[in-house]
Structure 1
Amino acid sequence: MNPPAPLRVIIVEDLPAIRKDLEYLLHQQPGFTLIGACATVREALVLIQSTRPDLLLLDIGLPDGTGFDILEQMRPVQSKVIFLTAHQEYAIKAIRYGAIDYLLKPLDLDEFKEALQRVSHAQPLLEEQIAIASQSFRKQKLQDNLALRSQQCVQIVGLEDICYLQADNGCTTVFLNGGKKIVTTKFLKDYEELLSGTSFLRTHHSYLINGTYIDRYHPKKGVLYLKDGTEIPVSLRKKEIVDLHFKKLL
């Protein structure tokens, strides 16, 4: 059986030193072949149109726009994507809202290899992933939807449809209104961080709850009851936070 064809890669990065580092690192990785590199949105769109790459290594901040501008003009997006970004908290959060892979600059070799391995098994981005990440980046806050990555695919869900999230052996199970559940590949603490400032409340080391689905709270029992009857434990460590949440509602 013949091995799969290598993924054809374009690098879009305006800093020459980082672009050269990426080219060097990519040449060391089997299963990937570099077919082009450029530094601007305009150059990238021309290069992508003519080569149809399998994978984009895509800087967010470019001299004439952003990596999101490129993706929004590529419709439909038929490439896998790894974003490149410096330590910009709002940019990183936006990318994570869309469940899109990213690398921090300066680059780390092990992280680079891991990202390539992950993306080699991934599907091209959904338009909804791009929209979630792009709008969150531009408005610097989470929008109404969140992308959830499971072992099989990426699913888009509305925040209002998430009842609660439960830690499960290094993964997180997301329970939706209506009984459906999705097992994702992220840790619960990742979702706690992503959903900070929203209606979600950490009640226990294993539970993150959407406050809009809470029916009642029994502080002496240390139990929250959701509107569908689900019982959620409140740990001693989280009791003060939960108590404060309900005092604010009074």
Structure 2
Amino acid sequence: MLNTLIVDDESHCIKRLLHLIDRKPETFNVIATCKTVDDALSVAQANPLDLVFLDIEIDDKTGFDLLRQLDHIFFKTIFTTAFDNYAIKAFKFSAFDYLMKPIDFDEFNETIARLSEERELKGHNGSVKSLLVNMEQEQPKLLTIPSVEGFETVLVADIVHLEANGNYTFIYANDKKQIVSKPIKFYENLLDGKQFFKSHKSHLINMEMVKTFHRGKQAYVLMENGNQVPIAVRRKDEFLGRFR
């Protein structure tokens, strides 16, 4: 059972979540529902929580105000929002789940199923800090990478290149190679297109990490970490155009 807190300043949104939760009585134990950040803070400090459904805009405050006031966060956060704005990009960079209002039944089930598959939330406090930093940036600077142990945060500037492996992606950064259970298309859409270039259908490179370019039948670049990454024939002119 997940000890659950719902934080939202609109009664009908709370009722919608409670309706969805009631369909899974074996999964949730709702500790409280709160309409203000102050009330939610009191509940979070007094109770061991596993999950918080957190609205972004709560009266004259935000859900981020709640997170900033907690020294240690041991619960999973699922944001709920009616606005598809800059916050969504920050959620994706920081590996946070979110649900768009009005909350769809299937999307709710998919999110909860994904949550159930995750292991213990080691390093979650660091992921929250990453989110709060990214919220202050027009272009997020920190990328949170889920791992077997929990989460690892890397500077976007330290990512050398990414390589597709089916529905997984290898991320090369800080002399490490990490595998993430997301397709490379996810990162192609997420990362700044001015900094990251799709050199090949299976490769995304950080243009600031390109060391040398080698022409030939199979052109390639040598990256700062010593790896060779191919440049597809149809991508070569656009790649060279970046240096003009």
Whether these two folds match at TM > 0.5 is yes
Structure 1 position 130 matched with structure 2 position 125 = no
Aligned mate of 1:223, from 205, 220, 223: 220
Q: Any idea what SS the aligned residue of 1:37 has?
A: strand
Structure 1 residues 28-107: aligned runs within 5 Å: 28-29=23-24, 30-107=26-103
Match of 1:139 in 2: 137
> Structure 1 residues 16 and 122, CA, compared in 2 at 3 Å: closer, same or farther?
farther
Which consecutive residues of structure 2, in runs of 5 or more, have no partner in the other structure?
none
Which amino acid is the alignment partner of residue 140 of structure 1? E
CA distance, structure 2, for counterparts of residue 13 and residue 135 of structure 1 = 23
C-alpha contact (below 8 Å) 1:40/1:64 kept by paired residues = no
Match of 1:150 in 2: 147
1:92-122: per-residue Cα shift (whole Å, max 9, x none)? 0011111111111121111101111222334
Structure 1 position 24 matched with structure 2 position 22 = no
CA distance, structure 1, for counterparts of residue 194 and residue 59 of structure 2 = 33
CA distance, structure 2, for counterparts of residue 194 and residue 131 of structure 1 = 19
Aligned mate of 1:207, from 198, 203, 207: 203
C-alpha contact (below 8 Å) 2:160/2:225 kept by paired residues = no
CA distance, structure 2, for counterparts of residue 38 and residue 122 of structure 1 = 27
Distance apart, 1:152 and its partner CA: 4.5
Distance apart, 1:132 and its partner CA: 2.0
Q: Any idea what SS the aligned residue of 1:139 has?
A: coil
Using the aligned pairs only, state the percent identity. 33
Match of 1:194 in 2: 190
CA distance, structure 1, for counterparts of residue 207 and residue 45 of structure 2 = 46
Aligned length: 240
> Structure 1 residues 138 and 229, CA, compared in 2 at 3 Å: closer, same or farther?
closer
Distance apart, 1:8 and its partner CA: 0.9
TM norm structure 1:
0.88
CA distance, structure 2, for counterparts of residue 219 and residue 60 of structure 1 = 50
